[in-house]
Structure 1
Amino acid sequence: MNSNGLSDITDKILDLSKLCTSTGQIDPTLYTKYEVKRGLRDINGKGVLAGLTDIAEVKSYTIEDHELVPCEGKLYYRGIDVEDIVKGFIEDDRFGFEEVTYLLLFGKLPTKKQLIDFTTLLAGYRTLPTSFVRDIIMKAPSHDMMNTLARSVLTLYSYDDNADDTSLPNVLRQCLQLISLFPLLSVYGYQAYSHYHDGNSLYIHAPQPELSTAENILYILRPDSKYTSLEAKILDIALVLHAEHGGGNNSTFTTHVVTSTGTDTYSAIAASLGSLKGPRHGGANIKVIRMFEDMKSKIKDWSDEDEISNYLTALLHKEAFDKAGLIYGIGHAVYSLSDPRAEIFKGFVEKLAAEKGRNDEFKLYSLVEQLAPHVIAKERKMYKGVSANVDFYSGFVYSMLDLPLELYTPIFAISRISGWSAHRIEEIINNGKIIRPAYKSIAKHTEYKSLLDRE
Structure 2
Amino acid sequence: MLKELSQMAEKSSYINPELYTKYEVKRGLRDITGKGVLTGLTEIGEVHSYIICDNEMVPEPGQLFYRGIDVADLTNGFMTEERAGFEETIYLLLFGSLPTKERLTEFNKLLADYRSLPKSFVRDIIMKAPSKDVMNMLARGVLALYSYDKNADDTSVENVLRQSLMLIAQFPLLAVYSYQAISHYHRNQSLIIHSPKAEYSTAENILHLLRPDSAFTPLEAQILDLALVLHAEHGGGNNSTFTTHVVSSAGTDTYSAVAAALGSLKGPKHGGANVKVVQMFDDIKENVKNWESDDEIKAYLTKLLRKEAFDKSGLIYGMGHAVYSVSDPRAEILRAHCQSLAHDKGLEHEFNLYHKVEKLAQEVIQEERKIYKGVSANVDFYSGFVYHMLNLPKELLTPIFAISRIAGWSAHRIEEIVNRGKIIRPAYKSISKRKDYISLESRK
The one-letter code matched in structure 1 to 2:12 is T
2:412 alignment partner in structure 1: 423
Mapped pair 1:130 → 2:89: no
Question: How many Å separate the matches in 2 of 1:361 and 1:43?
Answer: 37
Question: How many Å separate the matches in 1 of 2:297 and 2:3?
Answer: 39
Deviation of 1:383 (Å): 0.4
Give the ranges of 4+ consecutive aligned residues of structure 1 lying more than 3 Å apart after TM superposition. Answer: none
Question: How many Å separate the matches in 2 of 1:44 and 1:284?
Answer: 23
* Aligned 1:242-261 pairs, distance under 5 A: 242-261=231-250
* Aligned 1:32-181 pairs, distance under 5 A: 32-181=21-170
Residue identity over aligned pairs, in percent, reads: 69
* Aligned 1:236-247 pairs, distance under 5 A: 236-247=225-236
Deviation of 1:14 (Å): 1.1
1:328 alignment partner in structure 2: 317
2:383 alignment partner in structure 1: 394
- Give 5+ residue unaligned stretches, structure 1: 1-11
The one-letter code matched in structure 2 to 1:147 is N
1:16 alignment partner in structure 2: 5
Question: How many Å separate the matches in 1 of 2:350 and 2:94?
Answer: 38
The one-letter code matched in structure 1 to 2:318 is G
Deviation of 1:227 (Å): 0.1
Cα RMSD (Å): 0.5
Question: How many Å separate the matches in 2 of 1:87 and 1:356?
Answer: 23
2:17 alignment partner in structure 1: 28
Q: TM-score, normalised by structure 1?
A: 0.97
2:208 alignment partner in structure 1: 219
Deviation of 1:44 (Å): 2.0
1:345 alignment partner in structure 2: 334
Deviation of 1:453 (Å): 1.4
Name which of 419, 423, 434 aligns with 1:434.
423
Question: How many Å separate the matches in 2 of 1:14 and 1:272?
Answer: 31
Mapped pair 1:273 → 2:262: yes
Mapped pair 1:385 → 2:366: no
For residues 82-111 of structure 1, the C-alpha deviation after alignment (integer angstroms, 9 at most, x for no partner) is 000000001111000000000000000111
For residues 148-192 of structure 1, the C-alpha deviation after alignment (integer angstroms, 9 at most, x for no partner) is 000000000000000000011000000000000000000000001
2:174 alignment partner in structure 1: 185
SS where residue 62 of structure 1 aligns? strand
Mapped pair 1:447 → 2:436: yes
SS where residue 109 of structure 1 aligns? coil
Q: TM-score, normalised by structure 2?
A: 1.00
SS where residue 176 of structure 2 aligns? helix
Mapped pair 1:205 → 2:166: no
2:277 alignment partner in structure 1: 288
Deviation of 1:451 (Å): 1.1
Instruction: Say how many residue pairs are matched.
Output: 444
For residues 291-344 of structure 1, the C-alpha deviation after alignment (integer angstroms, 9 at most, x for no partner) is 111111111100100000000000011000001100000000110000000000
For residues 391-436 of structure 1, the C-alpha deviation after alignment (integer angstroms, 9 at most, x for no partner) is 0011111111010111000000000000000000000000000000
Question: How many Å separate the matches in 2 of 1:212 and 1:20?
Answer: 49
Question: How many Å separate the matches in 2 of 1:338 and 1:453?
Answer: 62
- Give 5+ residue unaligned stretches, structure 2: none
Question: How many Å separate the matches in 2 of 1:232 and 1:13?
Answer: 50
SS where residue 61 of structure 1 aligns? strand
Question: How many Å separate the matches in 2 of 1:270 and 1:144?
Answer: 14
Deviation of 1:452 (Å): 1.6
